[in-house]
Structure 1
Amino acid sequence: MARERATALLVDFDGVVRRWDPAVAAGVERDYGLSTGVLGEIAMSWGLLQPVLTGRVSHAEWMSSVADALTPSVGDPGQARAAVQEWQRYRGEVDPEVLAFIREVRAAGIRVALGTNATDLLDADLAALDLTDEWDVVVNSSVIGVHKPAPEYFQAACAALETSPGRVLFVDDEDRAVSGARAAGLSAYRWNGPADLRYLRAALAV
């Protein structure tokens, strides 16, 4: 049986709307004599990441724990903190094609939610990137206390969109999140880049 056409869009932030230039972290690591990729490896280690994504610790506390874990590599706690602070000053860049698509979708009368595993810094990032008013709702894992790909996350997102799961199209660049959304009853599309926008426009009839 064919699925109903989606009447709402739930879109991931990092990797879809926001892009990160890997040269920034690489430059910080080079300047501080760190091994390539170590900042991301420490920050994304699940023991440090999971608490901040569910709101149990703040973004600032998360970064402090990253600096603590980095200290043995640097040999000086002050240098470790400085490296992390410099790395964190860069807040990414908006993909203009994706932003244009989101505006088209909303102009067509389709509700759009930002659905992201994020920290308590999200609102400040959205403001800094001039994205605060680009969404009908924002579903931040650290606010609701549960992260993708848990079914409870997608239930909360659909409730925020006031749309049944079968009518929500979810777009994310991570396979686990896409699988979780499908298990929760949403349509879900694995994002590969702006070339996918043609398909998404057709799926939403915009």
Structure 2
Amino acid sequence: MRPEDLSRVPLGERLTVRHRLADGRASDVVGHLVGRDGQTLVLDTRRGRAVVRLTDVVVARVVRAVPWRVATFLERAEVAVLDLDGVLRDFDTEGHVGRAAAELGTDLEGLLEVAFGIDEAMAMLTGRCTHAEWVQALETRLLDDGHHPPAVERLMTVWVEDRGTPVAPTTELVDRLCAAGTPVFVFTNGTDRVPEELEHIGLGHLVPALINACDLGVAKPDPEAYAVAHAEIERRLGRTVGREQVRFTDDRPHNVEAAREFGWQARIFTPPS
């Protein structure tokens, strides 16, 4: 695109602009076009506003958005199935749990390893233990490991209070799928508290679509979990559903691979770029 063509580019478009610097070198700036006059362009970039003189522009082009492959994949589904955590909601988005974990001398990843490594974790995910019992077992484990009781208490308080935050692009995608008439299900290795959590964070409309491992008695990536979930999908829809008709996304590769082995079409979840 030549500099004179930039007058026809709508405001809001994302541009890459190569321009000359004062020392004669060329540099690129990438951002959304938010303003211009007869002499300059104003771009909103990741580092802030950038002003480029039109006389310095060497070449420019509009950067087209890369299609969100997960969205395209699910929009072609006869039945769409999505994981919950890491896909439709995220935890500790404000960092409270991470900071409380740091007080114990660990990071969030280390804390999760301990939390999901205790026996009560799998029991909880398969309906043999409640969320409250798991939390109590985790607190006992942390105290037994010698962590300072007040720090453990602070951690458990913020842990229980964190019910997650909706992932806007994915929840909006689900709304579009439902509006288009595509049956949508949420298949999660969740706890008995998931319905209440979804109501709390404004995703209560997803509760009727919920297929929860703690209700099934078996969790992903166990092959039986997919068989039981598929039977539940057929029961709710009141018809036979071919395995190849189901399209599934999950942020855990093992769960995606197990779904493929079962016969579902499956893709690892990635957020839009």
The TM-score normalised by the length of structure 1 is 0.84
**Contact 2:189/2:212 (8 A) holds in 1:** yes
SS at match of 1:51: helix
Q: Could you tell me which of 173, 185, 190 is aligned with 2:268?
A: 190
- In the other structure, the counterpart of 2:158 is 86
**Contact 1:116/1:141 (8 A) holds in 2:** yes
Bigger-Rg structure (1/2)? 2
- In the other structure, the counterpart of 1:164 is 242
Q: Could you tell me which of 193, 212, 220 is aligned with 1:121?
A: 193
- In the other structure, the counterpart of 2:222 is 150
- In the other structure, the counterpart of 2:113 is 41
Change (3 A) 1:136 1:105: farther
In structure 2, give the amino acid aligned to 1:8: V
Of all paired residues, the percent bearing the same amino acid is 28
Aligned counterparts of 2:141 and 2:207: Cα–Cα separation in 1 = 36
Aligned counterparts of 1:193 and 1:128: Cα–Cα separation in 2 = 23
**Higher strand fraction: Structure 1 or Structure 2?**
2
Aligned counterparts of 1:131 and 1:15: Cα–Cα separation in 2 = 15
Change (3 A) 1:6 1:136: farther
Structure 1: give runs of 5+ residues left out of the alignment. 196-206
**Contact 2:115/2:138 (8 A) holds in 1:** yes
Q: Could you tell me which of 156, 168, 177 is aligned with 1:96?
A: 168
Ranked by relative contact order (alpha carbons within 8 Å, sequence separation 6 or more), the top structure is 1
Q: Provide, for residues 66-92 of structure 1, a one-character-per-residue CA deviation record: whole Å limited to 9, x for no partner.
A: 00111033243x653442122221111
Change (3 A) 1:22 1:192: farther
Structure 2: give runs of 5+ residues left out of the alignment. 1-75, 235-240
Q: Could you tell me how far 1:41 is from its partner in structure 2? A: 2.4
The TM-score normalised by the length of structure 2 is 0.64
In structure 2, give the amino acid aligned to 1:41: E
Alignment: residue pair count: 189
- In the other structure, the counterpart of 2:81 is 10
